[in-house]
Structures are given as C-alpha cells and as structure tokens.
Amino acid sequence: MRRASIAVLLLAVAFAVAGCAPAEDEREIRVAAAASLHGAFEEIVSAFEASHPDIRVAPVVYDGSSTLATQIAEGAPIDVAAFADERTMERIADAVGEPRIFATNSLVIAVPEGTDRVAALDDLADDALDVVVCAPEVPCGAATRQALDAAGVDIAAASLEQSVTAVARKVASGVADAGLVYRTDASATEGVAAVEDPRLDGVVNRYPIAVTEGAGDDAQAFVDYVFSGDAQEGLARWGFGAP
C-alpha cells in the first residue's frame, strides 16, 4: 500500500476513534488545518461550538498543508480545509469549493532564546550553524526559498521539515541553531526568539479556507465563522495578518 493511502486510512481511523461520538441531535464536521493554525483554530473551534451548540467539530487534523492536500485528494473524510498558501489549495481544486483568504502570515528567523549568533538572513549562510527549514514542497518551504533567493542568501540546511512547527520545535530544543518559521510559530513556541529581517517582510503567505465537495451547510457555517469579527480578532492575537 502506498504511503499516501496509508495516511488516508490512518486519518479515517483517527476520526472514528477520536473523542466521543456526537449525540443524536448533534451534527459533526471534520476540519483539516495547516500546522501553523493550531493555537488559533483551537480557540476558533471552541467559540464556534459555543455559538452553534448543535454542531460538533471533530478533533482538528493539523499537519503540513502539502500532507493534508495529499490526504484529501486520496479521499480522506474532510469537510473543511484551511491551508497556509494558495498554491497548495490549487492542488485539490476539484475537491473543494471556491477558496477564500482568511489570514496572512510572514517569516522570521527563529533562534533559541538567549542566543545572539544570528542577527540577519546573511548569518544563516555560516556553515558552523545548524539551520533547519521547511521542505520546498510545503508552504513555509516555498516561502523560505523565495525569501532566500530574493536576498541572495544560500544556506546548507541541516534538515528539511514537513511542517513549520517541526522547524520551531527543533530550534526550541536546541537541536538547531536557527530556522525560518512563520511569525505566529515563533510567538507561540516556548523557548524560541524571533529575529526580524526587513527582507522577509516582502514574502507574505495568504491562507485559504474552503468547504470540500459534498460537505453540507454546517461546514459552510464554520467557514463563515472564521470570517466573523471574533474569529478574526483571535487570529490577530495569534499574530496573523488580515486577509
């Protein structure tokens, strides 16, 4: 069995066993979201359920957008998809309705708190540093490549990660000396400090959200809630920019 098919099977099993089954008068939707949305979406889900007591959101599946897109394309049972860039959403255009941009994000240099070895993008080219970045096929990796190319900086990455949270965790643990992560992940990860470089401000990821084909009105209600004032204020608190 191919790896993608195994991932879809495991995802389906996770949905089947996670949490308690919804009550008879309670409807359930299934959401897949980019790893960088974890903190913000946990708050949004709680607030959505409080304002829609007849709708339950199954435990959200968080992963790199590229991984989620592959799972959805392979038939994973998802009602709402929220990704970290438009290019990845385009991969599943036949499986979703019209995407809408609900947030933006940008990159910073992540370093372990208390260190001062990195002050700008150019420092990442130092071979003495272990620098980790996202793999080029995932949104944070595409943004990283764009930023480094524009700045004329060439680095030899110690590892290529499948999600931005994996990069942040390696920096926080001290496994890596530095990495490029979204501003939101630097803020949300304990033990990580953000180093700003003005050249990173020009690379902005736009986050799309869409209802998958066959999903009902409850999934659309969740998407609509993401654009509500309360949800947008919550995203801003987590460091996301306006759509």
Domain at 87, CATH number: 3.40.190.10
pLDDT at 13: 45
pLDDT at 4: 45
Q: What percent of the chain has pLDDT over 90?
A: 89
C-beta of residue 200 within 8 angstroms of C-beta of residue 147: yes
pLDDT at 99: 98
Q: Is the pLDDT of residue 87 over 50?
A: yes
Q: Are residues 7 and 98 in the same domain?
A: yes
Q: Is the pLDDT of residue 21 over 90?
A: no
What's the CA gap between 99 and 176, in Å, rounded? Answer: 35
Query: Considering the chain, what is the average pLDDT of its residues?
Result: 91
> Reduced to 3 states, what is the DSSP secondary structure of residue 79?
coil
Tell whether 243 is covered by a domain. no
Q: Is the pLDDT of residue 59 over 50?
A: yes
pLDDT band at 25 (very low <50, low <70, confident <90, very high): low
Owning domain of residue 139: 106-200
Angle at 141 between CA 71 and CA 143, to 5 degrees: 120
Across the range 88-105, mean pLDDT stands at 97
What's the CA gap between 56 and 49, in Å, rounded? Answer: 6
Q: Are residues 129 and 80 in the same domain?
A: no
CA neighbours within 13 Å on the CB side: how many for 206? 9
pLDDT at 24: 53
Q: Please, what is the angle between helix 38-51 and helix 217-226, to 10°?
A: 120
Q: Are residues 94 and 110 in the same domain?
A: no
pLDDT at 105: 97
Q: Which two structure tokens, joined as six digits, stand for 165?
A: 């949270």
80 CA to centre of own chain: 14
What's the CA gap between 148 and 31, in Å, rounded? Answer: 32
Tell whether 67 is covered by a domain. yes
pLDDT tens-digit readout, 125-148: 999 999 999 999 999 999 999 999
Task: Tell me which of 4-8, 149-153, 210-214 is least confident.
Answer: 4-8
What's the CA gap between 96 and 196, in Å, rounded? Answer: 36
Tell whether 214 is covered by a domain. yes
- Scored b (16 or more CB within 10 A) or e, 211-237 reads bbeebeebbebbbebbeeeebbebbee
What is the count of structural domains for the chain?
Answer: 2
Q: Are residues 9 and 70 in the same domain?
A: yes
C-beta of residue 15 within 8 angstroms of C-beta of residue 30: yes
Tell whether 242 is covered by a domain. no
Q: Are residues 99 and 210 in the same domain?
A: yes
Provide CB contacts within 8 A for 5, sequence distance 6+. Answer: 74
CA dihedral defined by 132, 137, 139, 144, rounded to 10 degrees?
Answer: 40
Q: Are residues 8 and 94 in the same domain?
A: yes
Tell whether 12 is covered by a domain. yes
pTM: 0.85
pLDDT band at 2 (very low <50, low <70, confident <90, very high): very low
